[in-house]
Amino acid sequence: MIGRDLLGTEDLDRADIERILETAEHMREIGRRTIKKVPTLRGRTIVNLFFESSTRTKSSFEIAGKRLSADVINFAAASSSLKKAESILDTARNLEAMDLDAVVVRHAVAGVPKQIADVLSAPVINAGDGAHEHPTQALLDLLTVRREKGRIDGLTIAIIGDILHSRVARSNIYAFRKMGAEVRVAGPPQMLPAAIETLGVKAFTSLREAIDGVDVVMALRIQNERLSGTYLPSVREYSATYGIDREKLKFAKDDAIVMHPGPVNRGVELSHDLTDHRPGVILDQVRNGVAIRMAVLYLLSGRRQEGDPRLDLESGEEK
């Protein structure tokens, strides 16, 4: 995977996903040590280019890079020369001229990471672009499910909420299906894309039917910042119909887990109780996010170009 961009799970095959998950297991072990640092990416420079707000993704990419001993630069869009009308692509070109080894990009507009990848030679990692994809979120969700259930193949996952505007839903649909899971989606009709079933999922407007017998219930955030007000006339009504609580969860398997990518609108998509306690695994998802981002940074930027020696995961030595 060296030198490749990670723009979406649509571009990954099953072997790529398995390699990332296996590498992330090793990264989790590093995260449990007293000294959570290995010299693997010493001398590498990684830039976080976040044009949209983030808590989990931005912090975990920064922690991931630092645990691998890379130099991590957090680009501050608000105080940059973007304010002097410099374009995003010129910004990226200028930053790359400082010899970057990887660029992590989040933008509110779908396709911006791809546009940047087209002009840079350093690997570009999509940290969420509009309603398109959020591949590292899906990878951390896969890791969480695999650790909880011991497998992904043969499981049934129900993704509930605003499927239309969700990059998390799209990335998870591609990723879970590639790993052999059945994926169902459910939400109000106006939040279900017309052609969603062409992605190989089953679509429901009934929450009860969608979560009947599933192994995993994944609630999505209601994205107030992307909704004009026409999609959701009443948050209270949404919560009553599609919000997940212990009563509704009875239709899923007895050992079903409840996931949410965060940030959670407490009491809207998820009851307070499920946000804080098992079978909710929300903070495990966040923990696994660091390991996945370490794995992705290592696999994509561990060699400067194809043919260079691979770096040992522990020592950073070439092998």
Q: Which residues bind ligand CP (CB under 6 A)?
A: 54-57, 128, 137, 261-263
Nearer to ligand CP, 200 or 263 (CB): 263
Nearer to ligand CP, 31 or 262 (CB): 262
Q: Rounded to the nearest whole angstrom, what is the least distance from the CB of residue 172 to ligand CP in the complex? A: 12
- Token pair 């951390």 is at which residue? 140
Nearer to ligand CP, 137 or 275 (CB): 137
Q: Which residues contact 48 (CB under 8 A, 6 or more apart)?
A: 58, 61, 62, 72, 73, 74, 75, 104, 127
Phi, psi at 218, each rounded to 5°? -115, 110
Q: Rounded to the nearest whole angstrom, what is the least distance from the CB of residue 47 to ligand CP in the complex? A: 17
Nearer to ligand CP, 54 or 74 (CB): 54
Q: Rounded to the nearest whole angstrom, what is the least distance from the CB of residue 55 to ligand CP in the complex? A: 4
Q: Rounded to the nearest whole angstrom, what is the least distance from the CB of residue 43 to ligand CP in the complex? A: 27
Q: Are 75 and 54 in contact (CB under 8 A)?
A: no
The pairing of beta strand 102-107 with beta strand 182-186: unpaired
- CA–CA dist 138, 144 (Å, integer): 10
CA distances from 118 to 4, 51, 126, 160, 195 (A): 12, 18, 13, 34, 29
- CA–CA dist 4, 102 (Å, integer): 10
Amino acid code (one letter) for 14: R
Nearer to ligand CP, 57 or 91 (CB): 57
- CA–CA dist 55, 2 (Å, integer): 27
Residue 106: helix, strand or coil by DSSP? strand
Q: Rounded to the nearest whole angstrom, what is the least distance from the CB of residue 312 to ligand CP in the complex? A: 30
Q: Rounded to the nearest whole angstrom, what is the least distance from the CB of residue 54 to ligand CP in the complex? A: 3
Nearer to ligand CP, 104 or 155 (CB): 104
**H or E stretch at 127:** strand 124-129
Nearer to ligand CP, 45 or 136 (CB): 136
Bridge partner list, 204: 186
Nearer to ligand CP, 40 or 126 (CB): 126
Q: Rounded to the nearest whole angstrom, what is the least distance from the CB of residue 33 to ligand CP in the complex? A: 25
Q: Rounded to the nearest whole angstrom, what is the least distance from the CB of residue 166 to ligand CP in the complex? A: 11
Q: Rounded to the nearest whole angstrom, what is the least distance from the CB of residue 171 to ligand CP in the complex? A: 11
**H or E stretch at 25:** helix 14-31
Q: Which residues contact 47 (CB under 8 A, 6 or more apart)?
A: 72, 73, 74, 75, 95, 100, 102, 103, 104
Count of residues making up the chain: 319
Nearer to ligand CP, 133 or 204 (CB): 133
